[in-house]
Structure 1
Amino acid sequence: MEEHTEVPAGLADALASVVADLIPTLRGRIPHGPAAALGRLGAPDAKPGVFGLQAGRPVARRGESAALSGLRSLGDPVSERLLGALELTLDALAVSIPHEVEVAVPGPDATPQAFGFGMIGGPSAETVTAVRLLDQLRPGVSALIVALVEELAGHEALVSLLEPPSELTGEEELAAAHGAAHLALAVAVAAPVLRRAGAPLLAGTSAAVVGVALGAVSALLSASPMPPAYAAALLAKRRAEYVLPVSASGSAEVRGHRFTLAERSVLGEADFSGNGLAVAIPGGVAVRTGQGEGQVPVSIRILEGAPDEVELDWWDEVVEFSWRAERGDATLSESASRHLRTPPWPGDFRVRVHAIGRDGEERERYELMLWQGPPGPDIVHKRGDRLGSIVRGEPVPDIVAPPEAAYRWIRGSLIGEAATVTVVGDASPAEVLRAFGADPAEPESAQELASAFDLDPWVTVLPVEGGVLAAEFNGFQGSLRPVLVSLSREGRTAGLFWNVNAVTRLSFADNGTVLASSELGHAEDITDPEVNRALAGLDFGSYRDRLEKGMLAVERYTGYRLRKEDLDRMVEEDVAYRILPHLPELYPEARDPDGSRAFPGHGPLGADTDRLAFVPEETLRELAWQAASAVTEHAGVAGDPVIAAVLTERRFGPEAELAARRSQLQDHREHAWLWQALHNATNPDPLAAAIGSLSAARYAAGPRGEDLLEHARRIARESPPPI
């Protein structure tokens, strides 16, 4: 941005009376929305305006004038709307040009005989183009206007015109009045100066006037204080818009074994000896951490009232105490989540602090719950870690970690968010790979498969004591029944699947039979004694260590404990195998007792799909295979012997199943819809077969697809529900 331009002596005084006359007219033509957005440029804590303007001085590009930088910082929508609002007024505006302006600003006769003007980038707003042209034809004129606007904003003859009316008390009204008055000032300055400057393609144009004015007012308001009444109005607005409950998660900066939730900088030490965890301090709340420095995860919940119950299950320590907010707006210390603030008003609060992992044996994290309530006594809801005992000066208890604690390392590992871990006893790696549907002769780089993002499933295996460990990083094939059946033919099998959405599946299988496979804690009527022994004493109803308990059950059933070193070896060896997925299981179409579809209103025929429920089964079967035939003919593969055999025998042989499974891989998806149509046609339930095959034919039968659907629709309409 160019250096500040000195305003010639007497020029501002000469313009003051002209500007004073123009401001009332111009201010009334400025729309409320963009005026409020401009007015908020000097209020960093205000929400962005309707055009998303942000506070802060505009940043100039190299060689760009201050006016152009300021204009560009506002964005095209703002300048275009304001140009549209002011253009007719400016064209008809009578403007006096003082003698001092004529002396200070070169006139039209100073136009160079030749000049160059280059456009950089894509199309620009009309105002941006006009200011660029002005800077080319009249170097320094826009800088003079910017300087004049800044000086005149403090001129004694204009100060009162720039102040919002005293009757305004709302945040938006004050911001709009502030923005409109200063933009009117800038336009009133730019109009006479640019009319004097004049130039081909430019003389007195509204686009140049509005563009330079916006650039000047952007720089001015970004550095100017808001009106005196604005702070109170903004606080009132924030209080009115603060709706409870509020919750968010982030992290807090730990320094000296503590973090704070505070309204201001907190100095001095805090005495945690009372409850060993947290305490109210002047200006906020301090929490004692096990970690000395760095970041810890923290979630905050601000409630309308006291919670119905105390959450103890997940946490080691839970304490509650009173805190009086001096003004509100407390934030986490040095947090990445500074957008989360406590209510923006003072008052008495109850604070409940939950902590886990302070002893360093698992991931350390915290939850703070706050609600307004009268002062009350400190309450220790739960004591359970060694650090708390040390801080309170109590004997340190001998805390025995539960057996599932041996798996807590998983949460911070490469499989922490999503994976399937399967252990197969008395098997070889090759046997396990083949049971998964992988080819032992085709190893690939696990790293490359993980970074390919082509959704092809893959597995890595490791021979371990007593069997084979299989791991799917962010995969789930090992949780599927057909895979479990195949694996358990090689040896006793157990596995656990989990993902980032907290979906889980714990499975046990042996001798080709799946003995149990369900969400953690939802297994019912298990009769196998070995599975029941593996699950004995594991409380999956507790939120704590559910994943770890699942892995303990796998260990109990198979006799092998997953170790971090196992994953390290897998990563170091970098060998994986692409899985040929099993075909999706075929289910019957759900029906109500009267024979109608249980989930009506959708399907390849729209609402008419429901009528298929009353079509004879033999007709439905024919519709399914007609759809499958149409797809194969459109694809030009009806003569393929494997496909021809499927159409003739109406079932999948080994070769067809292999081809259908391969079609689900990224590199073989050319005929994926074809194999879906054929696979669905084999569904034992005729209604499900017809609906599934017709659905696939919509996408894979080309022009014949519409004829096929219309044929099915006629059949459906000719078979109304029985009365």
Structure 2
Amino acid sequence: MEEHAEVPPGLADAVVPVVAELFPVLLGRIPRGPTAALGRLGAPETDRDVFALQTGPRTRGPGESAALSGLRSLGDPVSERLFGALELTLEGLPADVPAEVEAMVPGPDATPRSFGFGMMDGPNAATVTAVRLLDQLRPGVSGLIAALVAELAAHEAVVPLLTPGPEFDDEEELAAEHGAVHLALAVAVAVPILRRVDPPLLAGKPAGVVGVALGAVSALLSESPMPSAYAGVLLEKRRAEYVLPRSSSGSAEVRGHRFTLAERPVEGEADFGGNGLAVTVPGGVAVRTGLAEGQVNVSTLILEGPPDAVALDWWDEVVEVSWSAEKGDATLGGGGAQRSKTPPWPGDFRVRVHAIGRDGEERERYELMLWEAPPGPDVVHKHSDRLGHVVRGEPVPEIETPPEAVYRWVGESALSEAATVTVVTGASPAEVLRGFGADPAEPVSALELSQAFDLDPWVIVLRVDAGVLAVEFNGFQGSYGRVLESLSRAGRTASFFWNVNAVTRLSFAEKGIVRAGFELGYAEETEDPRVTEALAGLDFDTYRDRRARAFVAVERYTGHRLVAEDIERMMAADVAYRIVPHLPELYPEPRDADGSRRFPGGGPLGADTDKLAFLPEETLRNLAWHAAEAAAEAAGVAEDLVVADTLAHRRLSPEAELLARRSQLHAYREHAWLWQAIHQATNPDPLSAAIRALDASRYAAGASAADLLDQARRLLG
């Protein structure tokens, strides 16, 4: 509503008969789907996660009326659907303008005969355009209508029309009816006022009527309470849609060395002396933290029943308590504005609290598991941190710091998400760069490379006491066998790769031979005593500190301890080197004892690919190189000297190998499939060469791919 709009005395009573006449007709024409958004405008902010309330901010532009800003906040889909539903009804709607309205509302003579109007903000819904025009031609009219709608909504003759009956016992239906009845009222009010005003370009236009009505309803319902039955039906909806199990993660506010999961703000002190970690308090559960003030990471898991096992390896402290929810909807911190974390119903729950890092040696984190269960005594599953002993008043034991603790900083560093760290002993930076496939004479900005997002590999090197440290931020070349073989010719080499998908690879190489390489937790037996010594006592089956243990192994094998200052020096120097990646390793096609493919059914020829396994080796080799030649012809480079030499001698010359390697880079990918086909044709295993060269060539051949595959099938008879 306009802040200063005033309804002339007696106007509301004069409009009541018009409302009574038009209301049932309009209500019957209003679709309930879009009116649910209107009806929920006054819903509590804390319940907006239950339904998608698709309304924009109620911000007013310069000189914009409240009705127009309210209309815009609803969004075009809502206004256009309701306009479309009412347009024909309004065009044929008989409605006389009461004499009192004619006496109290200025008529057409108040509209300027000469005017200009323009809009510079792009296309708008018809309703928005109409209300803007109305505000330009007759300032204050939309505000009058909004004020009149608000007054009539409280009128004793209208209130019964706006009160949904008991049959609306569903949240969706009640919200839709709440919105529909108020829209019917607003349209019934707007019709006689706008017919009296009759501005040019708007006379009898439904867009103006619906637009002003929607703006008035948006303003009114945003500030009005919901129907008395709404809280109950909303609670039933939330309970019906609260499906278990349910998990979430986020942060909790810590005050005075504690955070809470509670239905309301928790006052007073909590006594953690019993188990040192968690205790029930009025309204919820309080958890003792190492941090005094601030934020800690907390994950929650609401279960249908008790978990199958107790997770102990990852956590320092694990305690279980009982809590009786008075009404449900407990939130982290007890703040009503937060997303609900517990079921929206009362009952008895068990709460298992897990904690790590309270002693300050690593990032402090918590996990809360809840499930409904009868009250029971506290259960202590694990006590191991120093803080717990202090809080419980117990002697603090000597807790040995594990060797991997010195690498916990990596998880909070620029390396946290994905990287490969490689250490090469007894080597120079130039030797390491060449081993990676980089040119020591061509440095580039590491910052620029990191912002390029072209996925081309690059590396930063740093001279350290043991030799050279090489780091690939979000890269993985150092985990490849060919790179490790090349690097380890200069000195003993170890690398560790990890990414955001928890994929890892820990590798060791010496004298040009990869001695071991495996995913953490899946180490293979090795007879190399240096690798065995590096891995001694490191348990990779436990996820906690698994990455840090890998760095311990790298340190033991190479003698270099990675420290945060190494990464800081690299980033400060801002010098990196582009890598021309080595070609992928070539593997033989797995076969069974009878010579057939071990994994049948796939390949460039579909099921016919399996028949290639029974062709002579010479035929397979010829097929592979024929496919590469077809790819070169299709690419138009068969006459290129390097390509022609490669195809003629069926091998990659140094010049050809460099071109093949470069084809993996973003700027050189024009003939990537061709070089992949040529590289695959060099596979020592003829069957693998034929299958993979043919597969790559069909992509390089483009329109002639079908002919290429048909020729291959003819070889099969």
**TM-score bucket of the superposed structures, by smaller chain:** over 0.9
Q: Which one-letter code corresponds to 1:58 in the other structure? A: R
Q: Which one-letter code corresponds to 1:400 in the other structure? A: E
Moved more, 604-613 or 339-348: 604-613
Q: Which one-letter code corresponds to 2:706 in the other structure? A: L
CA distance in 2, matches of 1:606, 1:696: 14
Deviations 1:80-136 (A, max 9, x none): 111111112212222121112112333334442221111222221111121122222
SS of the residue corresponding to residue 441 of structure 1 reads strand
Gaps spanning 5+ residues in structure 2: where? none
Task: Give the alignment of 1:524-535 within 5 angstroms.
Answer: 524-535=524-535
Cross-structure match for 2:54: 53
The Cα shift of 1:386 comes to 0.7
Cross-structure match for 1:352: 352
Q: Does the C-alpha gap of structure 1 residues 539 and 711 become closer, same or farther in structure 2, counting only changes over 3 Å? A: closer
Are 1:84 and 2:84 an aligned pair?
yes
CA distance in 2, matches of 1:24, 1:576: 75
Q: Which one-letter code corresponds to 1:581 in the other structure? A: P
Cross-structure match for 2:384: 384
Task: Give the alignment of 1:245-260 within 5 angstroms.
Answer: 245-260=245-260
Deviations 1:352-371 (A, max 9, x none): 10000010011111101110
Cross-structure match for 2:68: 68
Q: Does the C-alpha gap of structure 1 residues 48 and 238 become closer, same or farther in structure 2, counting only changes over 3 Å? A: closer
The Cα shift of 1:489 comes to 0.9
Cross-structure match for 2:542: 542
SS of the residue corresponding to residue 422 of structure 2 reads strand
CA distance in 1, matches of 2:590, 2:62: 68
CA distance in 2, matches of 1:87, 1:4: 31
Cross-structure match for 1:176: 176
Q: Is the 8 A contact 1:40 1:48 kept in 2?
A: no
Q: Does the C-alpha gap of structure 1 residues 218 and 49 become closer, same or farther in structure 2, counting only changes over 3 Å? A: farther
Cross-structure match for 2:120: 120
Q: Does the C-alpha gap of structure 1 residues 74 and 476 become closer, same or farther in structure 2, counting only changes over 3 Å? A: same
CA distance in 1, matches of 2:501, 2:700: 33
Task: Give the alignment of 1:341-490 within 5 angstroms.
Answer: 341-490=341-490
Cross-structure match for 1:166: 166
Q: Is the 8 A contact 2:494 2:554 kept in 1?
A: yes
CA distance in 1, matches of 2:448, 2:319: 48
Cross-structure match for 1:710: 707
Q: Does the C-alpha gap of structure 1 residues 597 and 211 become closer, same or farther in structure 2, counting only changes over 3 Å? A: farther
Q: Is the 8 A contact 2:260 2:284 kept in 1?
A: yes
Q: Is the 8 A contact 2:46 2:336 kept in 1?
A: no
Cross-structure match for 1:18: 18
Cross-structure match for 1:573: 573
Moved more, 304-313 or 426-435: 426-435
Q: Which one-letter code corresponds to 1:498 in the other structure? A: W
Q: How much is the aligned-residue C-alpha RMSD, in angstroms?
A: 2.3
Q: Is the 8 A contact 2:458 2:472 kept in 1?
A: yes
TM-score, reference length from structure 1: 0.94
Cross-structure match for 1:664: 664
Q: Is the 8 A contact 1:503 1:519 kept in 2?
A: yes
Q: Does the C-alpha gap of structure 1 residues 186 and 695 become closer, same or farther in structure 2, counting only changes over 3 Å? A: farther
Moved more, 95-104 or 232-241: 95-104
Q: Which one-letter code corresponds to 2:133 in the other structure? A: L
CA distance in 1, matches of 2:146, 2:695: 66
Cross-structure match for 1:225: 225
SS of the residue corresponding to residue 228 of structure 1 reads coil
Q: Does the C-alpha gap of structure 1 residues 6 and 614 become closer, same or farther in structure 2, counting only changes over 3 Å? A: farther
CA distance in 1, matches of 2:181, 2:592: 69
Are 1:495 and 2:495 an aligned pair?
yes
Q: Is the 8 A contact 1:275 1:319 kept in 2?
A: yes
Q: Which one-letter code corresponds to 1:3 in the other structure? A: E
Are 1:216 and 2:216 an aligned pair?
yes
Q: Does the C-alpha gap of structure 1 residues 66 and 608 become closer, same or farther in structure 2, counting only changes over 3 Å? A: farther
Q: Does the C-alpha gap of structure 1 residues 634 and 187 become closer, same or farther in structure 2, counting only changes over 3 Å? A: same
The Cα shift of 1:335 comes to 8.1
CA distance in 2, matches of 1:185, 1:598: 75
SS of the residue corresponding to residue 633 of structure 1 reads helix
Q: Is the 8 A contact 1:260 1:333 kept in 2?
A: yes
The Cα shift of 1:609 comes to 5.3
Task: Give the alignment of 1:491-640 within 5 angstroms.
Answer: 491-590=491-590, 603-604=603-604, 618-640=618-640
Task: Give the alignment of 1:97-246 within 5 angstroms.
Answer: 97-246=97-246
Q: Does the C-alpha gap of structure 1 residues 149 and 492 become closer, same or farther in structure 2, counting only changes over 3 Å? A: same
Deviations 1:667-717 (A, max 9, x none): 33333233223222323344443443444444433xxx3334234236427
Deviations 1:439-475 (A, max 9, x none): 1111222222222222121111122223221111121
CA distance in 2, matches of 1:116, 1:599: 76
SS of the residue corresponding to residue 555 of structure 1 reads helix
Q: Is the 8 A contact 1:673 1:696 kept in 2?
A: yes
Q: Does the C-alpha gap of structure 1 residues 156 and 636 become closer, same or farther in structure 2, counting only changes over 3 Å? A: same
Deviations 1:131-160 (A, max 9, x none): 122222222211111111111111111001
CA distance in 1, matches of 2:155, 2:347: 43
Q: Does the C-alpha gap of structure 1 residues 616 and 203 become closer, same or farther in structure 2, counting only changes over 3 Å? A: farther
Q: Does the C-alpha gap of structure 1 residues 621 and 371 become closer, same or farther in structure 2, counting only changes over 3 Å? A: same
The Cα shift of 1:318 comes to 0.6
CA distance in 1, matches of 2:594, 2:233: 64
CA distance in 2, matches of 1:448, 1:466: 29
Q: Does the C-alpha gap of structure 1 residues 114 and 620 become closer, same or farther in structure 2, counting only changes over 3 Å? A: farther
Q: Does the C-alpha gap of structure 1 residues 21 and 48 become closer, same or farther in structure 2, counting only changes over 3 Å? A: farther
Are 1:719 and 2:709 an aligned pair?
no
Q: Does the C-alpha gap of structure 1 residues 307 and 266 become closer, same or farther in structure 2, counting only changes over 3 Å? A: same
CA distance in 2, matches of 1:693, 1:658: 19
The Cα shift of 1:524 comes to 1.5
The Cα shift of 1:639 comes to 2.9
The Cα shift of 1:52 comes to 4.2
Q: Is the 8 A contact 1:580 1:665 kept in 2?
A: yes
Q: Does the C-alpha gap of structure 1 residues 194 and 717 become closer, same or farther in structure 2, counting only changes over 3 Å? A: farther
Gaps spanning 5+ residues in structure 1: where? none
CA distance in 2, matches of 1:190, 1:288: 60
Q: Is the 8 A contact 1:277 1:388 kept in 2?
A: yes
SS of the residue corresponding to residue 41 of structure 1 reads coil
Deviations 1:335-365 (A, max 9, x none): 8993242100011100010000010011111
Moved more, 211-220 or 660-669: 660-669
CA distance in 2, matches of 1:667, 1:337: 50
The Cα shift of 1:594 comes to 7.1
Q: Does the C-alpha gap of structure 1 residues 35 and 595 become closer, same or farther in structure 2, counting only changes over 3 Å? A: farther
CA distance in 1, matches of 2:52, 2:478: 51
Cross-structure match for 1:312: 312
CA distance in 1, matches of 2:462, 2:172: 65
Q: Is the 8 A contact 1:276 1:388 kept in 2?
A: yes
CA distance in 1, matches of 2:437, 2:693: 25
Deviations 1:257-297 (A, max 9, x none): 11111111111111111111111111111111111111111
SS of the residue corresponding to residue 231 of structure 1 reads helix
Q: Does the C-alpha gap of structure 1 residues 460 and 48 become closer, same or farther in structure 2, counting only changes over 3 Å? A: closer
Q: Does the C-alpha gap of structure 1 residues 155 and 475 become closer, same or farther in structure 2, counting only changes over 3 Å? A: same
Task: Give the alignment of 1:253-292 within 5 angstroms.
Answer: 253-292=253-292
